[in-house]
Structure 1
Amino acid sequence: MKYREKKKAILLLEDGTIFYGKAVGDKEGTAFGEVCFNTGMTGYQEIFTDPSYFGQLMVTTNAHIGNYGANNDEIESDSIKISGLICKNFSYNYSRPAADKSLLGFLEENSLFAISDVDTRALVCYIRDNGAMNAVISTSVNDVETLKEELKKVPSMQGLELASKVSTKEPYYFGDENAEYRISALDIGIKKNILRNLAKRGAYIKVFPYNATQNEMAEFNPDGYFLSNGPGDPEPLTEAIEATKDILKTNKPLFGICLGHQVLALANGVSTYKMHHGHRGINHPILNLITGKGEITSQNHGFAINREETEANPDLEVTHTHLNDGTVAGIKMKYKNVFSVQYHPEASPGPHDADYLFDNFFDAIKASRN
């Protein structure tokens, strides 16, 4: 491959800190978003297409990105959802036979601006010390003052409702219509591998928009309900919270993941808060308080639920806790077949330690039928 003359680029954080790098490919550009980092060694394509990352500038901590190319089957939604990519070494060549194209080609198809040659080790340390914040990546290296003014206009992730940006506009179906079970899923940023995990266990799923009511979801005559993952602050999702309250009145099984976990907590009167820099990676340690077993999990969230309020709630029980910082990683309702987790049992990417949670959901559905 011929030598590429890389264009200079910068990363400007909202506190004025600057990191320097190079533009990926021949594209000049600018992209805004909340800067965050993911510690996964693999799975970059799934990460880039995860709706939970909508509106974020993704820093990949693995030193090499793009070396195994891109595969059309390794996506979690219909398009790239991150607002921009920041990495150390970007591989223009790839060596995996199963790849359909280079990562550069995949990024160009999705019009994503990316920068490389950034000291990502120093950047991640800075985020860990100072917290996630808004930022801009750009090739306008000589116009920093203008970038600062534009960056001031970017809204904070706290208080930002983003589910409507990634949710389906119309209901759709997934799986075999002759399957044994029916599930109504609320799409507040759902990943395809969640639907695959539900379908392979014998479910026919109807996926509803973020603002669907419980009455609309009930018309499918579901055996259970599902609240998906998704981006942004959970507290502005008033319609999803109200729908969840109504779902709880039906006494049918309910399973929530990530943003869905937070929505379930809010429906039970438990508040949420923005974390310092969030959990994003595929090696997060979780303790299952019911079984006493540890799990290595895939995580992606910048908000969490209040532990004191959860423990004080007579209807809730903490079932999982994050071993790094003690945040609540799972809850269940004491008197209903309702539970949720603050991580991704469907992995994609990540380990499969927690896929038993899907089995638990179907066990609850079977029990509710008797």
Structure 2
Amino acid sequence: MPHPAVLILEDGRAFRGEAYGARGTAFGEVVFNTSMTGYQEVLTDPSYSGQIVTMTYPLIGNYGVNAEDEESAGPQVAGFVLHEAPPAYSNWRAAESLDAYLQRHGVIAISGVDTRALTRHIRSLGSMRGAIAPAEVDADELVGQIRAQPQMAGLDLACGVSTDERYRVPPAGETRYRVLAYDFGVKSHSLKLLAQRGCEVTVLPATTPTEEIVAAGADGLFVSNGPGDPEAVGHALDAIRALSGTGTPVFGICLGHQLIARAFGAETYKLKYGHRGGNHPVRRLSDGAVEITAQNHGFAVRGDEGGIPGAPELQVTHMNLNDGTVEGLQHRERPVFSVQYHPEAAPGPHDSRYLFDRFVDEMERRARGMQVDA
């Protein structure tokens, strides 16, 4: 028997539907994702911590879930919103239904929502706080509770999703390079792509002191994606500056891109409704090629026609073709580069996986230079 539920936003707008997944009340920032597939990767992406994710594609759950598509130890979203939950699922890899998966992990969701109207509302007024709750809830009381929740701006959520202890990911084959991965919410697919390129990856907690990172003597530093406001993660900036100052290649994505920008003097700001999905066009300025990219972020690096204000050492390498925001940077002298999007693309297109090869090339170039100097 269906259990009526409601999604209420902080401005009082209500969207009614049916309870899906676990029962109860969930609070978070309501955002939308335009991916047509990959809902399990979306659910398990640590960058969605603290957010209620709305899927704009109308049929979600039709191929079930499986253990292989997890991007972390389990779901990271605060809640989940979908238009239509198919009554059956079918895929040779599927192990259980999406509904059972959400129930097992305690994720509160709602189906039957007019997700098109919800998305238009967010696009017009911006991402806002909200809650999924049973339909009989006192709406005025719930709105008060929603408005008492913290704003996303100023929140350090990365430490909450980072690993507590360092761990090692072995290379696929012979070890070519030793890479440190600064974990602010790293996805397993990024680590897999590094391992496939011969990297032995040591994943570090977000709170690892700068001295330990520099003393490790690694061949490269990977600065991961993650949730929250980059301005609240200031402890990472010293490590990025210090390690890159030794000539060690540094590669950052998403939150890592924002932290690299801030490490060299740039500012970041909150976008109206963010970029989330697998179909965002980005122009590579070096040759004009357009990459279709996977994205998930609510903050961006501030840029203008002259480059990056406050950070003359940084050069813009990629631009978003939808709104002109900065999508990629590189340091003019140090082997440091970053992109705002997700080149591991889980889910999403594979146009940008060459960036992992570039990271390996930078480490190879440094190794050759050290051999010549010796």
Instruction: State the TM-score bracket (shorter-chain normalisation).
Output: over 0.9
Shift of 1:271: 0.6
Q: Is 1:58 the equivalent of 2:53?
A: yes
Q: Deviation per CA, 1:67-114, whole angstroms, max 9, x where unpaired?
A: 000010001000100010111001241111210111111111110011
CA distance in 1, matches of 2:234, 2:309: 23
TM-score (norm 1): 0.96
Report the residue type matching 2:290 in the other structure: G
Correspondence for 2:115: 120
Q: Whole-Å Cα distance in 2 between the matches of residues 350 and 242 of structure 1?
A: 32
68-77 or 88-97: bigger deviation: 88-97
Q: How far is the alpha carbon of 1:175 from its aligned partner?
A: 1.6
Contact persistence 2:213–2:243 (CA under 8 A): no
Partner residue in 1 for 2:334: 336
Q: Determine the structure 1 residue equivalent to 2:371.
A: none
Of residues 261, 269, 274, the one that matches 2:265 is 269
Query: What SS does the aligned partner of 2:193 have?
Result: helix
Is 1:150 the equivalent of 2:145? yes
The equivalent position to 2:42 in structure 1, one of 38, 44, 47, is 47
CA contact (8 A) 1:92 1:102 kept: no
Between the aligned partners of 1:35 and 1:195, the Cα distance in structure 2 is 28
Find 1:347's aligned residue among 335, 345, 348.
Answer: 345
CA contact (8 A) 1:212 1:243 kept: no
User: Runs of 4+ in structure 1 displaced over 3 angstroms?
Assistant: none
Q: List per-residue Cα deviations over 1:166-186 (Å, max 9, x = no partner).
A: 000011101239511000110
Q: 1:96 and 2:91 equivalent?
A: yes
5 Å-filtered alignment, 1:9-88, equals 9-24=5-20, 27-88=22-83
Q: What's 1:139 paired with?
A: 134
| Structure 1, 52-61 or 88-97: larger mean CA deviation | 88-97
Q: What is the alpha-carbon distance in structure 1 between the residues aligned to residue 101 and residue 212 of structure 2?
A: 37
Q: Work out the CA distance in 1 between the residues paired with 2:272 and 2:75.
A: 25
What letter matches 1:166 in structure 2? V
Q: Deviations over 1:17-40 (max 9, x none)?
A: 111111115x43110000000000
Match of 2:180 among 184, 188, 193: 184
When structure 1 is superposed on structure 2, of 208-217 and 269-278 the one drifting more is 208-217
CA distance in 1, matches of 2:298, 2:264: 20
Paired residue type of 1:94: Y
Structure 1 counterpart of 2:335, one-letter code = N
Query: Which blocks of at least 5 consecutive residues in structure 2 are unaligned?
Result: 369-374
Contact 2:25–2:131, Cα closer than 8 Å, also in 1: yes
Distance 2:367 2:358 in 1: 14
RMSD across aligned C-alpha pairs, in angstroms? 1.3
User: Which residue of 2 is the match for residue 317 of structure 1?
Assistant: 315
Partner SS state of residue 69, structure 2: coil
- Percent identity (aligned): 47
In structure 2, C-alpha distance between the alignment counterparts of 1:189 and 1:129, rounded to whole Å: 29
Amino acid at match of 2:166: P
Are the equivalent residues in 1 in contact too, given 2:166–2:205 (CA < 8 A)?
A: yes
Q: Please say which of residues 207-216 and 358-367 is displaced more in the overlay.
A: 207-216
Task: Tell me how far 1:247 sits from its aligned partner.
Answer: 1.8
Q: Which moved more, 1:351-360 or 1:147-156?
A: 147-156
The one-letter amino acid paired with 2:315 is: E
**Which of 229, 236, 246 lines up with 2:225 in the alignment?**
229
Moved more, 154-163 or 171-180: 171-180
